[in-house]
Amino acid sequence: MNLDLAKIETFKELFSQPKRVVILSHTNPDGDAIGSSLALAEVLKSLGHTVNCILPNRFPYYLKWMPKSDSLIIHSLDKLGITQSVIESADVVICADMSSLSRLEALYEIISTNTTAKRVLIDHHLSPSDEFDIVFSFPESSSTAYLVHEILKTAYGKGVFTKDIATLLYVGMITDTGNFAFSTLNSDLFHAVADLCETGIDIPRIYNNVYNSFTEGRARLFGYVINRKMKTILNGRVAYMSLTENEMRKFWFQQGDSEGFVNYPLSIKKVKMSAMFSEQQGGFIRVSLRSHGNVDVNTFARRYFNGGGHLNAAGGKSFMSMEQTIAHYVASVEEYHKEGLV
């Protein structure tokens, strides 16, 4: 990755004097959003800044072991107005792992009230918005955590990486690469992992905490989804699954329980594209899309579900019923197929 050294200097200059900093990430935060945000926060705190990390809503329970996760401010649980107070008084707002302020959803109006704070974007999704003063946008980066590693190492040297900070960055890297299985990997990423290993991080423990700490309800829900809800179309080349709120309730659903389900149909040899539809509080359906090879689900999400993401991992929303959403998906896949795109 070739970082713009002039931009790094601008970043360092911004933080050359103590600042009140707010770090934000997207709705339904994952390991990369949490790991990159908290790691950045810890480094900035060590440099003398006052830093608060805010998430729009709850994060998955199986990530609560992560260092410093108890310092996260959850906007949806904030009854005291802390979120608004912290954001309105911020000198700098950093958005990590999202390409647009719209990904903040319920936080969007609050962030819009602070028009004086410098805005910094650190992200690896396509099509960053023009709402930011300093932009580090690298869609070729495998994760935002890797991008944060490169920025901090270039700006301050790898001596800023404590064991806790390295653990946070490692979680972000593995969760956004399928434990280093996706196609966005390169030797630079593994050089970064080597830097993290030098701090003494416990890789087996991290892996076990991330991938082997689910509830019994989650295991049973997964079995139900694969056995009862997975459907295939286009002669088995495209798969989709769906979950209603009632179905999730039957299996004692907790935030994050369906994370990763969308990937499993891709383990079937013929399947090139997979979708997961899940009902959300607020009256919409969350659409998750994954693919293999050159099947571009980013374009698919933008065209049909007002979303976006990466070539092989994207998402969007539907405000139709579940039946209408699935029918729309099937018709859209057929149209996409006729264009030779899947």
Residue 5: per-residue pLDDT: 95
Angle in degrees, CA 270, 285, 275, rounded to 5: 5
pLDDT for position 67: 98
| Distance separating alpha carbons of residues 5 and 262, to the nearest angstrom | 38
Provide the pLDDT for residue 199. 98
Domains and CATH numbers, the chain: 5-211 (3.90.1640.10), 216-338 (3.10.310.30)
Q: How far is CA 239 from CA 9, 149, 228, 284, 323, in A?
A: 47, 35, 13, 21, 16
3-state secondary structure of 159: helix
Q: Residue 197: its pLDDT value, please?
A: 98
Q: What pLDDT, on the 0 to 100 scale, is given for residue 178? A: 86
Which stretches of the chain score pLDDT less than 70? Answer: 183-184
Q: State residue 183's pLDDT score.
A: 60
Find out whether 288 and 315 touch, Cβ atoms under 8 Å: yes
327 CB-near residues (< 8 Å, 6+ apart): none
pTM of the model: 0.90
Total Cβ atoms within 10 A of residue 160: 16
Return the pLDDT at 115.
Answer: 86
Mean pLDDT over all residues of the chain? Answer: 94
